[in-house]
């Protein structure tokens, strides 16, 4: 797979509305995907890089790892071919992962050797699928 760029870093926040305003006012970030996703997560972006403001905490269906928090993760953006390669590579290496269809993007989640959550995501959806369509199996 070929990583295009860091897609987002997830940051747990105590007050979502306050944090949205802060990231807009102080850092000048713009909010994306609000129409598609609603209030959660709040994707605050500059160029191709975003911060995902997470509140309240979520739990992904992966086996727990000591000290891991799925809200604190690093996401890499790939094209659709890279996404499919990532799925095959994790399976080939027998690295446990889970998938998620966010409606406007597809993601896989897994742990690095130190127990940090890693996400590989693509906004290049399957043929015939439009951004904002509700999730279905990839």
- pTM equals 0.59
**What's the pLDDT tens digit per position in 15-71?**
889 889 888 986 788 999 888 878 778 998 988 889 888 876 555 555 545 455 556
Domains and CATH numbers, the chain: 5-122 (3.10.180.10)
For 3, 53, 68, 87, 94, the CA distances from 111, given in Å and listed in that order, are 17, 20, 9, 14, 12
Q: Are 78 and 2 in contact (CB under 8 A)?
A: yes
Q: Are strands 5-12 and 30-32 parallel, antiparallel or unpaired?
A: unpaired
- Tell me, what DSSP letter sits at residue 40? S
Q: What percent of the chain has pLDDT over 90?
A: 14
Instruction: Give me the sign of the Cα torsion angle 73, 78, 82, 84.
Output: positive
């Amino acid at each position: 797979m070929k990583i295009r760029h860091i897609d987002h870093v997830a940051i747990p926040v105590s007050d979502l509305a306050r944090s949205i305003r802060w990231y807009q006012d102080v850092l000048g970030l713009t909010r994306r995907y609000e129409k598609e996703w609603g209030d959660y997560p709040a994707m605050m972006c500059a160029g191709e890089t975003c911060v995902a403001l997470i509140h309240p905490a979520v739990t992904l269906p992966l086996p727990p790892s000591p000290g891991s928090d799925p809200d604190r993760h690093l996401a890499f953006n790939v094209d659709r071919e890279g996404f499919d390669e990532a799925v095959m590579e994790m399976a080939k290496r027998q690295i446990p992962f889970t998938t998620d269809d966010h409606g406007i993007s597809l993601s896989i989640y897994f742990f690095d050797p130190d127990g940090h959550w890693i996400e590989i995501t693509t906004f290049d959806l399957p043929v015939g699928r439009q951004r904002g369509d509700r999730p279905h199996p990839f």
